[in-house]
Amino acid sequence: MKRSNAPVFWALFGAGGMLSALIAPMLVFITGIAVPTGFLLPADAMSYERMLRFAHNGFAKLALLAVVSLFLWHGGLRMYHSLHHLGFHTGAGSKLVIHGISLLGTVAAAWALLTIGF
Amino acid sequence: MSQVRTYTRPMAGWWRKNPYFVKYMIREASAPLFYAYALWLLAGLVALARGEAAYNTWRSASSHPLSILLHAVVVVFAIYHTWTWFRVLPKTTPDIDVQPRVLVAAGVAVAVVCCAALFAFAWWATR
């Protein structure tokens, strides 16, 4: 019998769900509201020099990769199932597209972090 | 060749008929929002790798009022995701032998601590 690949996607979904449940409200607030408006945090908190220095750190690289990649896998799996709930029974095609974008996103994030260097 | 036409019960709008399912679908709306947020962060990361000009374009796009408004929407849904994620924790982790109410409270408390720690880190790192 062919082994199912579902546990891999469910594990990524679970990890992304837990990570986002723990930090997403504050993370989105910081990167999307607080820093761009200069509210509570300095407006240059995410300046080029500062973020470049941050992204050089190995732990920061792991954290950035985890956030981008796991949020994609988590959101992607749920989006795929939501299609079904909404009556779009698109089957393997949409699964391939959604997981394909998540995979490409993960590779792109890893590429960017490696290009930035250590 | 003609297809066999068996009756299929129409399911359009099924979730609008029950408030429980409406709440479920509102919750599911956070999935594309997280997806979009991850892609936005990824765009910033790629821009950072490409150089200062590319990154500053991403930064100025991030401070556009529309971007801030959309991020505010994501924050609201993220809070709802946190709350519901930990509310179902007693069901998703049936092996943990703790009172369901205690488990939910502990999960939410850990999330609050994580968020506070993240803000404290951002505060400390940018002083």
pLDDT one-digit tens code per residue, A76-117: 999 999 998 888 888 789 999 999 999 999 999 999 999 999
Amino acid letter, residue A50: R
Tokens read off for B27: 């919750």
In CATH, what number is assigned to the domain containing residue A54?
1.20.1300.10
Q: What is the pTM of this model?
A: 0.92
Asked if residue B57 and residue B20 are part of one domain, the reply reads yes
- Domain extent for A83: 8-116
Kindly give, in sequence order, each residue whose CB lies less than 8 Å from that of residue B77, ignoring residues fewer than 6 positions away: B29, B30, B33
Rounded distance, CA A2 to CA B2, Å?
33
> Would residue B42 count as lying in a domain?
yes
* pLDDT tens-digit map of A13-67: 999 999 999 999 999 999 999 999 999 999 999 999 999 999 999 999 999 999 9
In CATH, what number is assigned to the domain containing residue B38?
1.20.1300.10
Task: Give how many domains chain B has, as a whole number.
Answer: 2
- Residue among A84, A24, A110 nearest B77 (CA): A24
* pLDDT tens-digit map of B46-97: 999 999 999 999 999 999 999 999 999 999 999 999 999 999 999 988 888 8
Asked if residue B62 and residue B18 are part of one domain, the reply reads yes
Residue of A nearest to B45 (CA): A112
Asked if residue B17 and residue B56 are part of one domain, the reply reads yes
- Domain extent for B45: 13-71
Rounded distance, CA B38 to CA A73, Å?
10
Task: Give how many domains chain A has, as a whole number.
Answer: 1
> Would residue B41 count as lying in a domain?
yes
Torsion of CA B92, A103, B115, A33, to 10 degrees: -130
Asked if residue B64 and residue B19 are part of one domain, the reply reads yes
Note which residues in 37-96 of chain A have CB less than 8 A from chain B: 37, 41-42, 44-48, 50-52, 54-55, 64, 67-69, 71-72, 74-76, 78-79, 82, 85, 87
> Would residue A2 count as lying in a domain?
no
Are A32 and B67 in contact (CB < 8 Å)? Answer: yes
Contacts of B104 in chain A (CB under 8 A): none
Asked if residue B58 and residue B19 are part of one domain, the reply reads yes
Rounded distance, CA B102 to CA B89, Å?
11
ipTM of predicted assembly, 2 dp? 0.94
